Amino acid sequence: MKVIIIVDLPAQRWKKDDVRDVAAGFAQNFLFPKKLAVPATAAVLEQVKYRAATRQKSEQQSRSLLHKSAEKLRALKVEFTAKAHEGKLFGGIGAPQILAELKKHGIVLESKQIKLEHPLKTVGEHSVKVHLGETVETEIKVRIDAEGNS
């Protein structure tokens, strides 16, 4: 019997809107009473196709927005001035400082999106990876200048 799964079932590795061929007894005695699946009729199959097309269109728009954001970030240069001695900072520039500076430019990210292995501790220009989505990563330029005379 063909059924359409209406909720994710991780134990069976079935996802919502999957069309599955199952035993009639399993469908009648387990899936239907627990509202985990519905019979695969022509009308329901059309609804599933429509939802899949809508979801795909939405994902494409989301990916497009992420790529535009990545281009905007790639063109941006974040600048800091910090106390330093012989090219080494007394402190470090980490994700919180970078996020605060990006916020001044109207870009709001979460700290987990900034991929820094350790804080930046030297004067000069650095590339910092930014993870925007599942497949979208970019880099921003971070420039650190020494404050006054070191």
pLDDT of residue 45: 92
User: 71-90 as b/e, with b when 16 or more CB fall inside 10 Å?
Assistant: eebeeeebebebebeeeebe
Domains of the chain: 2-62 (3.40.5.10), 66-146 (3.10.430.100)
* Whether pLDDT at 148 is above 80: no
| pTM (whole model) above 0.95 | no
| pLDDT tens-digit map of 34-87 | 999 999 999 999 999 999 999 999 999 988 988 998 898 999 899 999 888 888
Q: Amino acid identity of 80?
A: F
* Whether pLDDT at 147 is above 70: yes
Alpha-carbon distance of 134 to 55, in angstroms, equals: 16
53 Cβ neighbours under 8 A, 6+ residues apart: none
Alpha-carbon distance of 149 to 35, in angstroms, equals: 71
Q: Which of 129, 73, 127, 130 is nearest to 144 (CA)?
A: 127
pLDDT of residue 150: 43
Beta-bridge partner residues of 138: 130
CB 143 within 8 A of CB 77: yes
User: 149 pLDDT band (50/70/90 cuts)?
Assistant: low
> Is the four-CA dihedral 41, 43, 45, 51 of positive or negative sign?
negative
